[in-house]
């Protein structure tokens, strides 16, 4: 079936580097996308979202890019900090009234 997937299961970076986490989705009907951060032993926490009528959205130190042509989503974290170490999930939604479909996640490891 159609699903959301991630290219890199683990990403290791140095503190201060910029990090890019990628996500591919296959359901062209998806119109809303969310990035979540999950720290060990905790539930997912909302980071940033984007709707399909946009191709870029910026938050504090984070930017989400959406390329609908190739069905690709990315999360960019600027000046990565050790506290950013976690698993990052992308999730997709259709129409706003259904549930979220999550990808498998990427582990981000930030070394001091």
Partner 1 sequence: GAGVSQSPSNKVTEKGKDVELRCDPISGHTALYWYRQSLGQGLEFLIYFQGNSAPDKSGLPSDRFSAERTGGSVSTLTIQRTQQEDSAVYLCASSRVQEVSGNTIYFGEGSWLTVV
Q: Does 64 participate in binding partner 1 (rule CB under 8 A)? A: no
Among the listed ranges 13-21, 65-73, 74-82, 99-107, the one in contact with partner 1 (CB under 8 A) is 99-107
Sole residue written with tokens 């170490």: 85
Stretch that binds partner 1, among 11-19, 43-51, 65-73, 77-85 (CB under 8 A): 43-51
DSSP for 38-64, written as a single string: E-TTS--EEEEEEETT-SEEE-SSEEE
Residue 50, CA distances (Å) to 11, 22, 71 in order: 23, 14, 13
Tokens representing 29 are: 């009907």
**Cβ atoms < 10 Å from Cβ of 6:** 18
101-102 vs 10-14, strand pairing mode: unpaired
| Residue 76 or 101 with smaller CB distance to partner 1 | 101
Q: Does 75 bind partner 1 (CB under 8 A)?
A: no
32 binds partner 1 (CB under 8 A): yes
Q: Tell me which of 11, 30, 36, 66 binds partner 1, using CB under 8 A.
A: 36
Binding site for partner 1 (CB under 8 A): 4, 32, 34-36, 41-46, 48-49, 89, 91, 93, 96-105
């Amino acid at each position: 079936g159609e699903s959301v997937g991630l290219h890199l299961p683990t990403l290791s970076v140095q503190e201060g580097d910029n990090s890019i986490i990628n996500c591919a989705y296959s359901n062209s009907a998806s119109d809303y996308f969310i990035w979540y951060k999950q720290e060990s032993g905790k539930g997912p926490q909302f980071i940033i979202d984007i709707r399909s009528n946009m191709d870029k959205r910026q938050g504090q130190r984070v930017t989400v890019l959406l390329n609908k042509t190739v069905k690709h989503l990315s999360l960019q974290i600027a000046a990565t900090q050790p506290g950013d170490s976690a698993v990052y999930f992308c999730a997709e939604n259709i129409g706003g009234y259904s549930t979220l479909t999550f990808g498998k996640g990427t582990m981000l490891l930030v070394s001091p």
